[in-house]
Amino acid sequence: MKLVLSILVAAVGFSALAADKAKPVDVSKIPLPVPRKVDFEKEVYPMLKESCFSCHGPEKQKGKYRCDTKEGAFKDTDYGPTIVPGKSEQSSLIHMVCNLIDEMMMPPPSDKKGQSEPLTKEQIGILRAWIDQGAVWPVGPIQEFVKPVTFAADIQPVFATACGACHTGAEAKGGFDATQLGAVFKGGNAYGKVVTPGDLKKSSLITIISGLDEDLPQPEKHKLTAKEIALVKKWIEQGAK
Ligand code: HEC
Ligand code: HEC
């Protein structure tokens, strides 16, 4: 009997501790939900991918949380449930991205540039609106991310416009013709191969089109938009067909 009692006390003590962490938070000043219908696949999922998956995705699950899957995203935490459909102001995920919970700002602040940018007001507004609109997360793979990206349909037009003036045919700068799949694979005179299908880290093209290759004469001429860079990454990730 004594044993049972102490187990009981321990259990109660523990849950009291857990509940204690879920302190009431002041949501009066957080960004408002955007006043429109939001699209989960086009707006919400890509945002989570950009800002959260590096720590809460297929590879890492910091705090035992992953939000790249429906099963993982809706988690009950010590700070309350992450996502309460219809009630963004009660969702601990919103409290975290708004820095309302001590030491639990998400993404966590960091000195490393570009890695942990806080969500913007607009992004928080989109997340809140999605939750308020029922937090609908479709079953199965997210269409936006299974759509195949091909050189002919998606990449060639981007390269032709952004690179074509200097990188077309026999006269191409550095011997790199950016307008044909075979030539892109072959690479340039100095750099050799710049694309390794399926491997972003080994594809120096990403550094080049991010405008970060300082060895090039005009790195800024090589810089594509964030959207275009994302497209090229997706193309390489999917095998660069
Ligand atoms: C750089 C890594 C990193 C990024 C990026 C990041 N987190 Fe976290 N997250 C953590 C760590 C570390 C913890 C565990 C913190 C702790 O328990 O003290 C955590 C914990 C959490 C938890 C609590 C899980 C639990 O059960 O206690 C949630 C929810 C969460 N993060 C959501 C997010 C969301 C949403 C984003 C994107 C907007 C995000 N995180 C981005 C590192 C990250
Ligand atoms: C204004 C002209 C210009 C534009 C636009 C341009 N580049 Fe370049 N690029 C250069 C020059 C100049 C070099 C250096 C050539 C050399 O070393 O002789 C170069 C070099 C390169 C190389 C290295 C080639 C080698 O020597 O191996 C690659 C790869 C490359 N560019 C890709 C691109 C891509 C992709 C784009 C479009 C996003 C682009 N460039 C846009 C001028 C340009």
- Residue ending a domain, choose from 121, 144, 167: 144
Query: Three-class SS of residue 29?
Result: coil
Same-domain status, 36 and 75: yes
- Residue ending a domain, choose from 117, 144, 171: 144
Convert the pLDDT of each residue in 124-180 to its tens digit: 999 999 999 999 998 877 766 677 899 999 999 999 999 999 999 999 999 999 999
The average pLDDT across 23-37 equals 93
Q: Is residue 8 part of a domain?
A: no
- Tell me, yes or no, if the pTM score tops 0.75: no
The whole-number pLDDT of residue 39 equals 94
Query: 11-47 burial string, b = 16+ CB within 10 Å, else e?
Result: eeeeeeeeeeeeeebeeeebbebbeeebebeebbbbb
- Residue ending a domain, choose from 107, 129, 144: 144
pLDDT higher for 23 or 56? 56
For residue 80, give the ligand nearest its CA. 1
Distances (CA, A) of 184 to 163, 181, 191: 12, 5, 12
The whole-number pLDDT of residue 115 equals 65
Q: Is residue 5 part of a domain?
A: no
How many angstroms separate the alpha carbon of residue 133 from the centre of ligand 2?
47
Ligand 1 atom closest to 78 (CA): 27
Convert the pLDDT of each residue in 182-218 to its tens digit: 999 999 999 999 999 999 999 999 999 999 999 999 9
167 lines ligand 2 (CB under 6 A): yes
CA separation for the pair 195, 188 (Å, rounded): 11
Mean pLDDT across the chain:
89
Distances (CA, A) of 217 to 80, 172, 191, 212: 53, 14, 13, 12
Q: Is residue 119 part of a domain?
A: yes
Same-domain status, 113 and 51: yes
Same-domain status, 72 and 184: no
How many angstroms separate the alpha carbon of residue 13 from the centre of ligand 1?
25
Same-domain status, 220 and 140: no
Inter-residue contact 94 to 128 (CB < 8 Å) = yes
Closest residue by Cα to atom 16, ligand 2, is: 174
Full domain range(s) for residue 209: 148-237
Same-domain status, 65 and 134: yes
3-class SS shares of the chain: helix, strand, coil, % to 5:
45, 5, 50
The whole-number pLDDT of residue 23 equals 78
The whole-number pLDDT of residue 21 equals 63
Three-class secondary structure assignment of 48-100: HHHHCHHHHCCCCEHHHCCCCCHHHHCCEECCEECCCCCCHHHCHHHHHHCCC
Out of 154, 156, 161, 173, mutate this one to test ligand 2's pocket (max ligand atoms within 8 Å of CB): namely 173
Query: Three-class SS of residue 188?
Result: strand
Instruction: Write out the two tokens for 239.
Output: 């095998």
Separation of first and last alpha carbons in the chain: 69
Query: 93-107 burial string, b = 16+ CB within 10 Å, else e?
Result: bbbbbbebbeebbbb
Same-domain status, 94 and 120: yes
CA separation for the pair 166, 175 (Å, rounded): 10
- Give helix then strand counts, H and E, for the chain: 11, 2
Q: Which residues line ligand 1 (CB under 6 A)?
A: 51-52, 54-56, 62-65, 67, 75, 77-78, 82, 93, 96-97, 106-108, 116, 119
User: How many separate domains does the chain show?
Assistant: 2
The whole-number pLDDT of residue 144 equals 64
Side-chain half-sphere exposure of 88, counting CA atoms within 13 A: 22
